[in-house]
Amino acid sequence: MAFGMRVVVLHLLISLLLLQLIKGDDDTLIKLDKPKLQKCGIDRIYQFGDSLSDTGNCLRESYCGAQTKTGKLPFGMNFYQNATGRCSDGFIILDYIAMECGLPLLNPSLEENADFSHGANFAVSRATALSAEYLISRNIAISFTNSSLSVQLQWMSSHFKSVCSDDCAKYLENSLFLVGEIGGDDVTYGFKQGRPIEEVRRIVPDIVKNIIHSVRTIIGFGATRILVPGNFPSGCFPIILTLYMSKSSTVYDEYHCAEEWNNFTISYNNLLQQAIHELNREYPNISIIYGDYYNAYYWLLRNAVALGFDKKTLQIACCGIGGEYNYTEDRRCGKPGAEKACADPSTYISWDGSHLTQKAYGWITKWLIDDILPQLNCHV
pLDDT in tens, the chain (380 residues): 444 444 444 444 444 444 344 333 334 445 566 788 998 999 999 999 999 999 999 999 999 999 999 999 999 999 989 999 999 999 999 999 999 999 999 999 999 999 999 999 999 999 999 999 999 999 999 888 999 999 999 999 999 999 998 899 999 999 999 999 999 999 999 988 888 888 999 999 999 999 999 999 999 999 999 999 999 999 999 999 998 775 656 689 999 999 999 999 999 999 999 999 999 999 999 999 999 999 999 999 999 999 999 999 999 999 999 999 999 989 999 999 999 999 999 999 999 999 999 999 999 999 999 999 999 978 65
Which is the catalytic residue, given 51, 88, 148, 234?
51
167 given a catalytic annotation: no
CA-wise closest residue to 119 among 169, 166, 79, 156: 156
Residue 36: count of CB within 10 angstroms of its CB: 16
The pTM of this model reads: 0.92
- State the Cα angle at 351 between 272 and 27, rounded to 5°: 95
Q: In whole angstroms, how large is the CA radius of gyration of the chain?
A: 20
Does residue 118 have an active-site annotation?
Answer: no
144 CB-near residues (< 8 Å, 6+ apart): 63, 64, 67, 125, 126
**Coil, strand or helix at 380:** coil
Catalytic annotation present for 33 = no
In angstroms, the Cα distances linking 357 to 16, 28, 202 are 18, 20, 32
For residue 60, how far is the Cα from the chain centroid? 19
Among 54, 95, 292, 352, the active-site one is 352
Alpha helix stretches (DSSP H) within 245-378: 259-282, 293-302, 358-372
